[in-house]
Amino acid sequence: MKISTKGRYSVTALYELALHYGTGPLPLKNIAQGQGLSENYLEQLMLPLRRAGLVKSIRGAQGGYMLAREPKEITIGEIITTVEGPIAVVDCLLAEAGAKDQPCERACACVTRGIWEKVCDSISEVLGGITLQTLMDNDKGSEHVGCAR
Amino acid sequence: MKISTKGRYSVTALYELALHYGTGPLPLKNIAQGQGLSENYLEQLMLPLRRAGLVKSIRGAQGGYMLAREPKEITIGEIITTVEGPIAVVDCLLAEAGAKDQPCERACACVTRGIWEKVCDSISEVLGGITLQTLMDNDKGSEHVGCAR
DNA sequence: TGGAATCCCGAGCAGTTTTGTCAGATTTAT
DNA sequence: ATAAATCTGACAAAACTGCTCGGGATTCCA
Ligand code: FES
Ligand code: FES
Q: Is the CB of B110 under 6 A from ligand 2?
A: yes
Q: How far is the C-alpha of A37 from the C-alpha of A55, rounded, in Å? A: 18
Sort A58 into a burial class: Cβ within 10 Å, 0-12 / 13-18 / 19+: middle
**Closest residue to C29 (CA, C1′):** A61
Query: Which ligand 1 atom lies nearest to the CA of residue A113?
Result: 3
Rounded to a whole number of angstroms, the distance from the CA of B40 to the nearest CA of chain A is 22
Look up residue B137 and give its amino acid: D
pLDDT in tens, A30-71: 999 988 899 999 999 999 999 999 999 999 999 999 999 999
Longest pairwise C-alpha distance within chain A: 59
CATH of B5-139, one of 1.10.10.10, 3.40.50.12160, 1.20.1540.10, 3.30.565.10: 1.10.10.10
pLDDT of residue B145: 47
Residue A33: CB less than 7 A from any atom in strand C: no
pLDDT of residue B14: 97
Domain range annotation of chain A = 5-139
For each of chain A's 149 residues, which pLDDT tens digit applies?
899 999 999 999 999 999 999 999 999 999 999 888 999 999 999 999 999 999 999 999 999 999 999 999 999 999 999 999 999 898 887 765 554 445 566 555 688 989 999 999 999 999 999 999 999 998 776 654 444 33
Q: B125 or A96: which carries more pLDDT confidence? A: B125
The DSSP output letter for B72 is G
Cβ–Cβ under 8 Å, residues A120 and A89: yes
Nucleotide nearest to B41 (CA to C1'): D19
Q: Is B149 helix (H, G, I), strand (E, B) or coil?
A: coil
pLDDT in tens, B11-62: 999 999 999 999 999 999 999 998 889 999 999 999 999 999 999 999 999 9
pLDDT of residue A23: 95
Buried b (16+ CB within 10 A) or exposed e, A38-57: eeeebeebbebbeeeebbee
Q: How far is the C-alpha of A144 from the C-alpha of A126, rounded, in Å? A: 25
HSE-CB of B75 using CA atoms within 13 angstroms: 11
pLDDT of residue A74: 98
Rounded to a whole number of angstroms, the distance from the CA of A126 to the nearest CA of chain B is 6
Q: How far is the C-alpha of B37 from the C-alpha of B55, rounded, in Å? A: 18
B126 touches chain A (CB under 8 A): yes
pLDDT of residue A92: 80
pLDDT of residue A149: 36
Residue B48: CB less than 7 A from any atom in strand C: no
Compute the distance from residue B98 Cα to the ligand 2 centre, in Å.
Answer: 16
Q: Of B119, B95, B133, B131, which is closest to residue B1 (Cα–Cα)?
A: B119
pLDDT score of B76 more than 90: yes
pTM for the whole thing?
Answer: 0.90
pLDDT of residue A91: 84
Torsion of CA B127, B133, B139, B142, to 10 degrees: -90
Residue B116: which pLDDT band, with cuts at 50, 70 and 90? very high
pLDDT in tens, B81-113: 999 999 888 887 776 554 444 556 555 568 898
Q: Is B65 helix (H, G, I), strand (E, B) or coil?
A: strand
